Amino acid sequence: MRKNKYCVELDVVDGSFPDRYMGCGYGREYTIPEMFERIASIDKITGVELVSNWQVTPENAPEIKKLCDDHNLEVVSILPDHFSQKKWGKGAFTSTDKNIRADAVQVTKTLMDLAAEMDCKKLTIWNGQDGYDYPFTANYMKELEWLQEGIRECAEYRKDIQLAIEYKVREPRLHCYLSNVYSTLMFLKEVNCDNVGITVDFGHCIIAHENPAEAIAACKLYGDKLFHVHVNDNFGVWDDDCITSTEHVIETMEFMYWLKKTNYDGWFSFDHYTPRLDGRDALIEGVNWMEDITALVDKIDDAKMEEMFKNVNAVEMSKMVRELLFH
């Protein structure tokens, strides 16, 4: 069986995330050292993804790195905060204020340096505030160009750090620019830097009405651009970030199959949001779902699958999946 590499964002095991109605968070708050302990207690998790400001800053980086080392956790990726401070509210790389745009670039460069210091090879770039809300409010062409320029400037700053762009169709903006796998691939073609690629988040595919396995295939076909993977699940409408695979069992199977078929050897990062659950317990479940599904998918005979692709008979596929699941 394949051995997947699993990591997680620290706050996935915290309990104090706010939403619009529960400003105080649903559960209890954990300190950063506690979060590390909680994560490290799960054998199969061997890395962390860190959010800047929330968890890591230039100031506390040595301390955080030590916590990683003490717990044998690799720093897989750092996510620059382009979304949680008031200044980013109307856009970071696409702000109409050129100082804010410059700031978005500067923050990213600083974190690229910080990543290098922490033996981390990758930033996850999530442009959650780079979009628009109402019709007639955005100059799409201009703002998309600013986004290209900003990302390109960061990418060229140092080529030893990868920038893995995580697309999402909406939230917190009502419409985000990098909304699905194809808008992001097209964007990357224009940016044209080897060290810029994609983070595919399973749930973001679903809410973009995009089949996750097709997204993986598209990343391969259009430039081999898959740099990172987030896993979770939802009910098809909103980025619920449920426990991985608890909704889309068969799509997750196909997703894992295509990751194997396209030789993905990167990390699986759990991007859960489980405010009413113990985040650590939910995370263990996520790992178990991933392990169980991987074991199943590894049973698929590749030669037989290639034959099935030639026949395109959904009855055969149904039978294969059903027998894998139940027999």
Which residues in the 176-205 window bind a second copy by CB under 8 A?
179-180, 182-183, 185-186, 189-190
Q: Is 151 in the site for a second copy (CB under 8 A)?
A: no
Stretch that binds a second copy, among 32-40, 68-76, 109-117, 317-325 (CB under 8 A): 317-325
Residue 316: C-alpha distances to residues 171, 308, 311 (Å) = 38, 7, 9
Q: Where are the alpha helices (DSSP H) in the chain?
A: 32-40, 61-70, 98-117, 140-157, 181-191, 202-207, 212-221, 249-261, 279-297, 302-311, 314-326
Looking from the CA of 200 toward its CB, the CA atoms found within 13 Å total: 30
| Cα(173)–Cα(129) distance, integer angstroms | 6
Binders of a second copy in range 82-101 (CB under 8 A): 83-86, 89-91, 96
Q: Is 157 in the site for a second copy (CB under 8 A)?
A: no
* Smallest separation (angstroms) from a second copy to the CB of 162: 21
- Choose between 25 and 121: whose C-beta lies nearer to a second copy: 25
* Smallest separation (angstroms) from a second copy to the CB of 224: 11
Q: Which of 110, 172, 193, 260 binds a second copy (CB under 8 A)?
A: 172
Q: Is 287 in the site for a second copy (CB under 8 A)?
A: no
* Smallest separation (angstroms) from a second copy to the CB of 246: 5
| Cα(78)–Cα(195) distance, integer angstroms | 15
Binders of a second copy in range 251-280 (CB under 8 A): 251, 253-254, 257-258, 273-278
Looking from the CA of 13 toward its CB, the CA atoms found within 13 Å total: 29
Asked if residues 54 and 60 have their Cβ atoms less than 8 Å apart, the reply is no
- Choose between 16 and 110: whose C-beta lies nearer to a second copy: 16
Q: Which of 31, 99, 137, 263 binds a second copy (CB under 8 A)?
A: 137
H or E element that contains 199: strand 196-201
* Smallest separation (angstroms) from a second copy to the CB of 167: 10
Count of CB atoms situated within 10 Å of the CB of 251: 17
* Smallest separation (angstroms) from a second copy to the CB of 56: 17
Q: Is 208 in the site for a second copy (CB under 8 A)?
A: yes
Q: Is 146 in the site for a second copy (CB under 8 A)?
A: no
Asked if residues 105 and 97 have their Cβ atoms less than 8 Å apart, the reply is no
Q: Which of 14, 130, 240, 271 binds a second copy (CB under 8 A)?
A: 240
Stretch that binds a second copy, among 29-37, 58-66, 242-250, 264-272 (CB under 8 A): 242-250
Find how far residue 189's CA is from the centre of its chain.
20
Residue 170: C-alpha distances to residues 32, 52, 213, 238, 270 (Å) = 29, 22, 21, 9, 20
H or E element that contains 265: none
- Choose between 66 and 140: whose C-beta lies nearer to a second copy: 140
Q: Which of 135, 160, 265, 303 binds a second copy (CB under 8 A)?
A: 135
